[in-house]
Amino acid sequence: MARPTHLKVVEPGRTGVGPGARYPLLGAVEILPGSVEAALIDSSGRVVARESGSYPADAALSDVTAAIFAAASRCFGQTKPTGIGVAAGGLIDAHAGIISEINDVPALHGFPIAEFLSSKFAVDTFVEHRARLQVLGDRWFGWGRGESSFASVSTGETLGVGILYQGNVLAPNGGRSGAHMTVAVNGETCTCGERGCWKTLATAQWFRRRAAEFGFGRGVTLADVASAAESSDAAAAGLIRQYAENVALGLVNIQQLCAPGLFILHGEAKDGGGVFRTTIEDRLRAVDSWTSSPQPPRVQIAHIADDDVALLGGAALVLSEGLQQ
């Protein structure tokens, strides 16, 4: 299904979208390594039905599509959604509705997922990369509601930034999530082979290593350290601030370049407590002091559950695409 590179987001108020209005229920499908989720979501972002299925990681295409169809049928068989938005990782050809490449599910390479679901359920179906869908989910159902520009940030095991800029999700051909921005000269070697990438300093992996150096036991979590920090543990507070400063390193560059103003943090950041959030916000405000923008940069912790992010993004894709037609 042909669509523009930049997803144009239309203001909800212009078409009267709301509970029970033009879009009664939205369909979403999330494809994960070895499993699939399908959900019906209302226009306020509430998940009203959810089904899942699984398949072996090395399954043949017919087994994977059978699992996708089975979960989708249980979810959409009785209640037909107004459209279906599919979230997947890897390389997505959103214009053509194809999963071009998904390393964790090789059987799906080149699979026309949009056409497959569209023909089975007789509704328009769209597919996008899950990182870009996170931005749309925030735009329609999260802190990004009513905003024309903001950054949606993944923290923890996965690090990356998606940007809504003046109503468009930035999705340049070949553009990536920012995890491999260089933030340290002669820094650690990254998984990509370069040195000093943001990813080497601002992920859960970095945090676990540094926590061990600080004397915290194996398996310590950010929530554990935040709790210790609240009990006046100076070393814990220092570690939290260091982690937050490292996350801020990348976000400061985003603010310098695009000035999204609002940064919505998903994932592990929610476990970091107030110190984690305010450390990042203070850093962003310090580098933004020269601008004349009416509002200083803000950092919000996402209130969308991590498990729902991609599905809500899929539902948001249906809303965004539907309003263009």
Cβ neighbours of 192 (radius 10 Å) = 11
Contact between 202 and Zn ion (CB under 5 A)? no
3-state SS, 257-270, equals HHCCCEEEEEEHHH
Shortest distance, position 183 Cβ to Zn ion, whole Å: 10
- The interaxial angle of helices 222-230 and 204-213, nearest 10 deg, is 50
Shortest distance, position 153 Cβ to Zn ion, whole Å: 17
Which residues, in sequence order, are CB contacts of 170 under 8 Å at separation 6+?
6, 162, 163, 164, 258
Shortest distance, position 57 Cβ to Zn ion, whole Å: 25
- Rounded-to-integer distance, Cα 128 and Cα 93, Å: 8
Nearer to Zn ion, 36 or 161 (CB): 161
Nearer to Zn ion, 191 or 256 (CB): 191
Contact between 180 and Zn ion (CB under 5 A)? yes
Given the rule CB under 5 A, which of 194-202, 266-274, 300-308, 317-325 is the region that contacts Zn ion?
Answer: 194-202
Given the rule CB under 5 A, which of 133-141, 151-159, 175-183, 213-221 is the region that contacts Zn ion?
Answer: 175-183
Asked if 133 and 144 count as a contact pair (C-beta separation under 8 A), the reply is no
Asked if 143 and 264 count as a contact pair (C-beta separation under 8 A), the reply is yes
**Could you say which residues in the range 63-82 bind Zn ion, by CB under 5 A?**
none
Task: For residue 265, give the nearest of 143, 167, 175 by alpha carbon.
Answer: 143
Shortest distance, position 248 Cβ to Zn ion, whole Å: 18
Contact between 197 and Zn ion (CB under 5 A)? yes
Nearer to Zn ion, 196 or 314 (CB): 196
Given the rule CB under 5 A, which of 10-18, 104-112, 156-164, 188-196 is the region that contacts Zn ion?
Answer: 188-196
Which residues, in sequence order, are CB contacts of 56 under 8 Å at separation 6+?
34, 63
Choosing from 61, 190, 249, 258, the residue that interacts with Zn ion (CB under 5 A) is 190
Per-position b or e across 290-301, b if 16+ CB within 10 A of its CB: eeeeeeebbbbb
Shortest distance, position 187 Cβ to Zn ion, whole Å: 10
Nearer to Zn ion, 15 or 205 (CB): 205
Per-position b or e across 59-93, b if 16+ CB within 10 A of its CB: beeeebbebbbbbbeebbeeeebbbbbbbbbbebe
Given the rule CB under 5 A, which of 140-148, 180-188, 218-226, 299-307 is the region that contacts Zn ion?
Answer: 180-188
Shortest distance, position 201 Cβ to Zn ion, whole Å: 11
How many residues sit close enough to Zn ion to count as binding (CB under 5 A)?
Answer: 5
Contact between 206 and Zn ion (CB under 5 A)? no
Choosing from 192, 223, 286, 305, the residue that interacts with Zn ion (CB under 5 A) is 192
Contact between 184 and Zn ion (CB under 5 A)? no
- Residue 6: phi, psi to the nearest 5? -95, 125
Nearer to Zn ion, 68 or 197 (CB): 197
Nearer to Zn ion, 197 or 265 (CB): 197
Nearer to Zn ion, 221 or 253 (CB): 253
Contact between 17 and Zn ion (CB under 5 A)? no
Binding site for Zn ion (CB under 5 A): 180, 190, 192, 194, 197
